Amino acid sequence: YSAKHSQEPTRVYRPPQGQSAHQALLVGQRLRRLIGGEEGAIALHCQPLVALDDGTVREFEVLSRLDTQDMGRLTPDHFIPVAERNGLIVDLDRLVLKQTVSAMADTDTVLSVNIAAPTLYHADFPAYIGTLLADAGVAPHRLYLEITERVVTDPGRALTALEALSSAGVRIALDDFGTGYSSLTVLADLPIHRIKIDRRFIQQLGTEPPLQRAIIESVVAMADGLGVSLVAEGIETDTQEQAVRDHGIRLAQGYRFGRPEPMGR
Ligand code: C2E
Ligand code: MG
Ligand code: MG
Ligand code: MG
């Protein structure tokens, strides 16, 4: 987790805790074979987003796991940074999107998929997504693409891609909000439909000092002003749930409501 969420603009690769450089090398090999269609599988998992007013679940976030024969099932912190470093992330994200959209054809749920900056920036990405959705007969508004503030490091490129996706009807969520450095003026210019407040903020709720409380309140006010929906990520306790409700946030995600589970088909 820490490697992916590192805010430093550095190219130094730090394996997640417990992952040696050798293991990272093996993961890179597995990813290459997976993308080449030779072996291995991406096991898509889904975590529910809960509407706090009535407890209903109409949406899920897709979270990838990598199945390997020798290392078992790996979580994203073990392979997303490797994929980003090895230039495999675009193919990996597209594989996930392809499987997700094909699963969507059988249901009417709304799904969110995480994509990395190089995936978004790839010149034919909006066309790729458009074709995927059209071929599967899936309405574009049922798909959210989750991007992090890191894509906003290149606002020009982000704007071009996001505008194309958005005008095709695909919805955009800004993930891990509050962990990056993007300015609010830049964000206000991007076609974003939803903001997901990072769990590091959420987990301080209920016990937060006044300044923290003021920050959350200003995020809620900003979201209202921009007309975007808010999701509170990483809710684990009753106290956190209550605090999120008290702040007027209506959509929530976290172990309290459900862990990521293998996607049924
Ligand atoms: P994210 O998009 O912010 O996803 C939320 C992460 O928080 C997930 O970790 C989820 O399992 C975890 N989580 C959810 N509820 C709770 C909670 O109550 N407590 C705690 N402690 N954690 C919770 P996961 O599945 O390990 O994914 C980590 C990150 O990897 C994701 O963060 C996302 O940025 C990235 N990721 C996952 N799948 C993909 C993918 O297919 N492509 C790309 N590019 N990135 C992906
Ligand atoms: Mg996400
Ligand atoms: Mg997040
Ligand atoms: Mg994240």
> Amino acid letter at 232?
A
Q: Name the residue of 42, 45, 114 whose CB sits within 8 Å of the most ligand 1 atoms, as the mutation to test its pocket.
A: 114
**Mean of pLDDT values over 181-198:** 83
pLDDT tens-digit map of 150-185: 887 788 889 999 999 999 999 999 999 887 766 676
- Token pair recorded at residue 262: 């293998």
| Range list of β-strands (E), 110-203 | 110-114, 143-148, 171-177, 194-197
- Burial bucket for residue 109 (CB in 10 Å: 0-12, 13-18, 19+): middle
CA 76–ligand 4 middle distance (angstroms): 10
Quote the pLDDT of residue 1. 35
The reply to whether ligand 1 has any atom less than 6 angstroms from the CB of 178 is: no
**Residue 10: which pLDDT band, with cuts at 50, 70 and 90?**
very low
Distance 144 CA to ligand 4 centre (A): 15
